[in-house]
Amino acid sequence: MPLAPTTLKVSGNTAAESYPVLVGNGLLGHLPELLGPSVKKVLVIHPRALRTTGDVVRDELANVGLEALTAEIPDAEEGKHIQVASFCWEVLGKNDFTRSDAVISVGGGAVTDLAGFVAATWLRGVKVIHIPTSLLGMVDAAVGGKTGINTAEGKNLVGAFHPPAAVLADLDALATLPKNELVTGMAEIVKTGFIADERILELIEEDPEDAINPGSARLRELIERTIAVKVDVVSRDLKESGDREFLNYGHTLAHAIELAERYQMRHGAAVSIGLCFAAELGRSVGYTSDEIADRHVNILKSLGLPTTYRNDRWAALLDGMKRDKKARGNQLRFVVLEAIGKPRIYEVPDNSLLFAAYQEIGE
């Protein structure tokens, strides 16, 4: 008999900023109650690879009397462009969607970001519910209300904060994922372990293979613990004015790598490299112990994640990092660790320190 869903609650300053995150199996039946009685029309946005899943969600909604449509977008980061958002706006407009209607995202983090942005900008904001189908989407992108699209200048530089009405993290979706998708999604889980919950790291170290087994109790606990950390942080800091910045641990270099790779590298793989870089930077400036820095590499390698990147890309990476959202003027800022569960912001006084740290992960 399947376990009952776990409900984690984001508590914002207003009712519109507060919402449940359900984790469990077979969660589609909760959709009508979460949409509420005022919603008459729903647009289900899904990637090409999840056409069947998108159709299932649409049909579930049609069966309870809602007018449900689908909008198919390109897979992965190819879907996070202004032209794709414009296509979705066109569908909403031609079908007379009003402020009382809703958008549902079905897919990974890229779909969550795009659909959330579409919902945030249509009529200055309509209801959105996320149904993440990837591990990365469940533990990171779907929770928190950050939406965005990519431009030639960088990732997520255009976006909005738009909290969802709910998130349904249906664990059944993980059973169909390729192993590589599970592995890359683990990078965000590892990140959360280092910045907030050491038990996450211990669960992985005890059995790395079981940690990426889609049906295991261990993976469910890792997902719930990771979401719980994000729910807590987001509840305190919706718009990244304080502690929420710590969730970007490892992401400054990661986003620069994604830009350099023209978004052909999986986000989780880039984050894994970024975590190792942040650990080396913290070690080199005296904040992070040798033991903690080495633990990054050991855990990430045990999961099959990359820990090094090309030496010859430094100039491009530095340029990409200067566009980071956390930068203040010309000053680069990084999240580093003083201890497990004790992150801090480090303002880099000299880019030569970054270059020295990069040499430790270069290949």
DSSP for 222-268 reads HHHHHHHHHHHHHHH-TTSSSGGGGGGTTHHHHHHHHHHTTT-S-HH
Q: Report the 3 state secondary structure along 112-126.
A: HHHHHHHHHHHHHCC
Any known ligand binding at 109?
yes
Is residue 248 part of the annotated active site? The answer reads yes
- What percent of the chain is modeled with pLDDT above 90? 86
Identified catalytic residue from 181, 224, 240, 280: 240
Is residue 30 part of the annotated active site? The answer reads no
Identified catalytic residue from 46, 162, 255, 295: 255
Is residue 267 part of the annotated active site? The answer reads yes
Question: Mean of the pLDDT values across residues 21-37?
Answer: 95
What is the rounded CA–CA span in Å between residue 306 and residue 308?
Answer: 6
330 has a pLDDT exceeding 80: no
- pLDDT, tens digit, for every residue of 6-16? 999 999 888 88
- Binning pLDDT at 50, 70 and 90, where does residue 108 land? very high
1 has a pLDDT exceeding 90: no
Is residue 240 part of the annotated active site? The answer reads yes
Spell out the domain ranges in the chain: 6-176, 182-359
Tell me whether domains 6-176 and 182-359 share a fold.
no
CA 337 to chain centre: 21
Any known ligand binding at 112?
yes
Query: CA torsion, points 294, 300, 304, 305, in degrees to nearest 10?
Result: -110
Is residue 188 part of the annotated active site? The answer reads yes
Q: Mean pLDDT score of the chain, rounded to an integer?
A: 94
What is the rounded CA–CA span in Å between residue 231 and residue 329?
Answer: 30
- pLDDT, tens digit, for every residue of 70-91? 999 999 889 999 999 999 999 9
pLDDT at position 345 is 95
- pLDDT, tens digit, for every residue of 49-70? 999 999 999 999 999 999 999 9
Any known ligand binding at 127?
no
Higher pLDDT, 2 or 298: 298
Any known ligand binding at 251?
yes
| Least confident interval from 43-47, 78-82, 153-157, 326-330 | 326-330
- pLDDT, tens digit, for every residue of 175-203? 989 999 999 999 999 999 999 999 999 99
47 has a pLDDT exceeding 70: yes
Question: Mean of the pLDDT values across residues 300-313?
Answer: 96
Yes or no: domain 6-176 corresponds to CATH 3.30.930.10: no
217 has a pLDDT exceeding 60: yes
Q: Which two tokens stand for residue 137?
A: 């989407």
pLDDT at position 73 is 97
Any known ligand binding at 77?
yes
Any known ligand binding at 267?
yes
Is residue 146 part of the annotated active site? The answer reads yes
CATH of domain 182-359: 1.20.1090.10
pTM of the model: 0.93
Identified catalytic residue from 220, 248, 258, 296: 248
